[in-house]
Structure 1
Amino acid sequence: MGNPIVLHLGDDIKWNHEPYKKLQDKFEIRRSYSMGRDEFKQALKDKKFGNFVAMYRPFWNTGGEMGNWDEELIALLPSSCKIYASAGAGFDWVNTQALAKRGIIYCNAAAACTESVADAAIWLILSTFRKFTWSSLSARSCQVDRFVAANRNIAAITHNPNGHALGIIGLGKIGHRIAQKAHTAFGMRILYHDIRRLPADVEGPLDAKFYDRLDDMLPDADALVVATPFGGDKVVRAEHFGRMKKGARLINIARGKLIDEDALVQALESGHLEAAGLDVHYDEPRVNPKLAAMDNVELLSHTAGASVESHIGFERLGIENIVNFFETGKAVTPVNLHFFDDKAKL
Structure 2
Amino acid sequence: MASTSRRSSKLVVLHIGDPVKWNTDFYAKFSEDFTVVRPSSEERQREEFMKGLREKRWGDFDAIFRPFWNTGGEMGRWDKELIPLIPSSCKIFASAGAGFDWADVDLFAERGIVYCNSAAASSESVADFAIFLILAAFRNLNWCTSAARTAADFKDCHTNAAVLSHNPRGHTLGIIGLGNIGFTIAKKAYLAFGMKIKYYDVVRKSRSQEADIEAEFFSNLDDMLAISDCVVLATPAAPDGRKLINRSTLGKMKWGSRFVNIARGSLVDEEAVADAVDQGRLIGVGLDVHEFEPRVNERLKKMRAVTLTSHNAGGTLDTHIGFELLSMKNIDAVLKGREPLTPVNKHLLSKVAKPKL
TM-score category, normalised to shorter length: over 0.9
Aligned AA for 1:259? V
| 1:344 maps to which of 338, 351, 354 | 354
> Greater CA deviation, 287-296 or 333-342?
333-342
1:303 and 1:67 map into 2 onto residues whose CA distance is 22
Deviation at 1:203, TM superposition (A): 0.9
| 2:122 maps to which of 102, 113, 121 | 113
Task: Count the aligned residue pairs.
Answer: 344
> Greater CA deviation, 82-91 or 319-328?
319-328
Q: Secondary structure of 2:15's match?
A: strand
Deviation at 1:196, TM superposition (A): 3.0
Would the aligned equivalents of 1:11 and 1:33 in 2 still touch at CA under 8 Å? no
> Greater CA deviation, 88-97 or 228-237?
228-237
Would the aligned equivalents of 1:33 and 1:63 in 2 still touch at CA under 8 Å? no
TM normalised by structure 2 equals: 0.93
2:111 and 2:218 map into 1 onto residues whose CA distance is 36
TM normalised by structure 1 equals: 0.96
Which residue matches 1:4? 11
RMSD of aligned alpha carbons: 1.3
| 2:194 maps to which of 187, 194, 212 | 187
2:37 is the alignment partner of 1:30:
yes
1:235 and 1:332 map into 2 onto residues whose CA distance is 28
> Greater CA deviation, 320-329 or 89-98?
320-329
2:153 is the alignment partner of 1:143:
no
Deviation at 1:225, TM superposition (A): 0.4
Deviation at 1:329, TM superposition (A): 4.0
The 5 Å alignment of 1:195-214 reads 195-214=202-221
Deviation at 1:283, TM superposition (A): 1.5
Would the aligned equivalents of 1:215 and 1:240 in 2 still touch at CA under 8 Å? yes
| 1:59 maps to which of 34, 48, 68 | 68
Q: Secondary structure of 2:225's match?
A: helix
2:316 is the alignment partner of 1:307:
yes
Would the aligned equivalents of 2:23 and 2:325 in 1 still touch at CA under 8 Å? yes
Unaligned runs of 5+ in 2: 1-6
Aligned AA for 1:263? A
2:303 is the alignment partner of 1:294:
yes
Which residue matches 1:172? 179
Deviation at 1:186, TM superposition (A): 0.8
Would the aligned equivalents of 2:46 and 2:76 in 1 still touch at CA under 8 Å? yes
Q: Secondary structure of 2:231's match?
A: strand
| 1:91 maps to which of 97, 100, 117 | 100
2:260 and 2:147 map into 1 onto residues whose CA distance is 22
1:263 and 1:187 map into 2 onto residues whose CA distance is 30
Aligned AA for 1:117? V
1:241 and 1:83 map into 2 onto residues whose CA distance is 38
Unaligned runs of 5+ in 1: none
2:144 and 2:295 map into 1 onto residues whose CA distance is 25
Would the aligned equivalents of 1:223 and 1:248 in 2 still touch at CA under 8 Å? yes
Would the aligned equivalents of 1:268 and 1:274 in 2 still touch at CA under 8 Å? yes
Moved beyond 4 Å, runs of 4+:
none
Q: Secondary structure of 1:11's match?
A: coil
Deviation at 1:339, TM superposition (A): 2.2
Deviation at 1:6, TM superposition (A): 0.6
2:336 is the alignment partner of 1:327:
yes
Q: Secondary structure of 1:121's match?
A: helix
> Greater CA deviation, 146-155 or 87-96?
146-155
1:109 and 1:196 map into 2 onto residues whose CA distance is 19
1:229 and 1:152 map into 2 onto residues whose CA distance is 40
Would the aligned equivalents of 1:169 and 1:228 in 2 still touch at CA under 8 Å? yes
Which residue matches 1:264? 273
1:196 and 1:29 map into 2 onto residues whose CA distance is 36
Deviation at 1:33, TM superposition (A): 4.1
2:15 and 2:275 map into 1 onto residues whose CA distance is 45
Note the alpha carbon deviations across 1:191-247, whole angstroms, 9 max, x for none. Answer: 111113222211112111111111111121100001112131122221221221111
Identity %: 49
| 2:248 maps to which of 239, 247, 261 | 239
2:52 is the alignment partner of 1:47:
no
